Structure 1
Amino acid sequence: MQLQFWSGAGVALGIAILAGLAEHRRRKRRNLERVGWVPWMAIQMAGLFAALVLASVALHAG
């Protein structure tokens, strides 16, 4: 059971990292008119929060 929580935390952390990279790429764009519609910062924060909660549950489940 604990391995599932750690795996979920790893996946959530991976999503947060990918969203952070996408946000960095969006900020460094050449054409300032092409803003995009995906809220990468919100996705990154949600991923980090999910990783924190899942890691906390995994630590307490053991």
Structure 2
Amino acid sequence: MQGSMLTIGISAAALFGIAEVANWRRNNRRDVDNVGFMPWRGIALASAAIAIFATAFALRG
């Protein structure tokens, strides 16, 4: 159980990094009308929360 929660935490932290890079790219795009459809801010927030809780559960063990 402890190892699987730590794996989930690491995966969620990686997803958080990807979402933040994608959100930064969205904010600095050249074509203002080319917005896209992915809610990167929400994905980053959800993955950060999952990473924190999964890591806390893994450390509590």
What TM-score comes out, normalization by structure 1 length? 0.94
Identity of aligned pairs, percent?
A: 30
Q: Which residue number in structure 2 is paired with residue 50 of structure 1?
A: 50
Q: CA RMSD in A?
A: 0.6
List alignment gaps of at least 5 residues for structure 2.
none
Residue 2 of structure 1: CA displacement?
Answer: 1.0
List alignment gaps of at least 5 residues for structure 1.
none
Instruction: Report the residue type matching 1:3 in the other structure.
Output: G
2:43 maps to 1:36: no
Take 1:6 and 1:22, find their aligned partners in 2: how far apart are those partners?
24
What TM-score comes out, normalization by structure 2 length? 0.95
Residue 37 of structure 1: CA displacement?
Answer: 1.1
Count of aligned pairs between the two proteins: 61
Instruction: Report the residue type matching 1:52 in the other structure.
Output: I
2:33 maps to 1:20: no
- Alpha-carbon deviations, 1:6-58, whole Å to 9, x = none? 11100000001000000000000000001111100000000000000000101
Instruction: Report the residue type matching 1:29 in the other structure.
Output: R
